[in-house]
Amino acid sequence: MIPLLIDCDPGHDDSMAILYAARHFELRGLTTVFGNSIVENTTRNALKICELAGLDIPVAGGIGAPLVGSFTPSMIHGASGLDGADLPEPKRRAVDMHAVTMIIEQARKAEGELVLAAIGPLTNVAVALRTEPRLARWLKCITIMGGSLDIGNASPYAEANILKDPEAAAAVFSSDAEIYLAGLNFTRQAILDRSHAEMLRQAGGAVPETVAGMLDFYLNRNEARYGKPISPMHDPSALVPFVRPDLVEHQAFHIQVELASPLLRGMTVADQRNVTRRPDEPEPPRANVKAGVRMDGPAATRHVIETIASYGRG
């Protein structure tokens, strides 16, 4: 199994990603960051998911604010960041280690093998890369849920995880790490709806039934916000390519994060031009990101839901 560390801000789709990962990866731990809620809530939510699923992995709390400015929690996830289900109170606490330290230590222990899944704002990851310059080459890769090759969601041009800390995202994208990106253009190809909540209920068991309740809440919030009771399967889509590469296609781009423009702040600007360079033009910047461009969305969604349903079978 591939060793994996998840940096997250649970979050309904984060929770699905954690449960999915625990079945398909050697899940080394969770680190938490602000985003869908304040970091105290996201850390508590991570512990609750571990308690629900019986996952004996360390959880380390991380950074609670962006590198520049402040942030607004994503209320589509509710006041706690994970409304919609009665989750068990965690019996364990977060470990006495900062998330940044855990990222560095886990990468050092599994040099060249660890996949870091960053499915919240990129603040912890950016600070870890700055703290330990060797981290980029210690990691096998970073797989990011964030950004978009087309339209945004938190603004017309920016996706929520990136917009919550654009400076951190810019630092990560400009690092020497190998980066895979699951942007909105990719995650919108895999759609969750009420039939998936029903599949989980039919599976039975505490985990599927609890996730069904969370999914009901999340779909209702999406319906109130966007007019339809559906949602892209965001965070798990950053992990599916490592388990089912047959379902996805990536393409290499040079991507930068816009910081200066108030209108475009947080936009992941991908050079998608397919042109022949003129002799008088400089060499274009090298591709720094492998971005998801195509996914068999129905198959990927079914694969993730079936994985979570399997908790009902022990």
Give the model's pLDDT for residue 314. 61
Contact 22, 51 (CB under 8 A): no
Percent of the chain clearing pLDDT 90 (strictly above)? 88
CATH, residue 152: 3.90.245.10
Asked if residue 33 lies in contact with residue 121, where contact means CB atoms within 8 angstroms, the answer is yes
User: CA-CA distance, 248 to 293, in Å (whole number)?
Assistant: 8
> pLDDT band at residue 83, thresholds of 50, 70 and 90?
confident
Q: 45-74 pLDDT, tens per residue?
A: 999 999 999 999 999 999 999 999 999 888
- Residue 58: how many other CB atoms lie within 10 Å: 16
d(C-alpha 241, C-alpha 256), whole Å:
23
Lowest mean pLDDT among 16-25, 82-91, 211-220: 82-91
Mean pLDDT score of the chain: 95
- The residue segments making up the domain with residue 272 are 3-313
Q: Name the residues annotated as catalytic.
A: 234
Confidence of residue 15 (pLDDT cuts 50, 70, 90): very high
- Mean per-residue pLDDT, 130-153: 98
Which segments of 52-204 are extended strands (E)?
59-60, 115-118, 141-145, 179-182, 191-192
Min mean pLDDT across 11-25, 97-111, 226-240, 278-292 is at 278-292
- Inter-residue contact 50 to 311 (CB < 8 Å): no
Lowest mean pLDDT among 57-66, 83-92, 165-174, 200-209: 83-92
Name the helix (H) or strand (E) containing 3.
Answer: strand 3-8
What's the pLDDT score for residue 285? 85
Does the pLDDT value for residue 89 go beyond 80? yes
Task: Say whether pLDDT at 168 is over 70.
Answer: yes
Which of 103, 302, 86, 299 has the alpha carbon at shortest distance from 211? 86
Nearest to 234 by CA among 36, 25, 34, 30: 36
The Cα–Cα gap between 270 and 252 comes to 10
| Mean pLDDT calculated for residue range 214-223 | 93
For the chain, how many structural domains are there in total? 1
Asked whether the predicted pLDDT for residue 169 surpasses 90, the reply is yes
Please state, in angstroms and rounded to a whole number, the distance separating the CA atoms of residues 25 and 236: 13
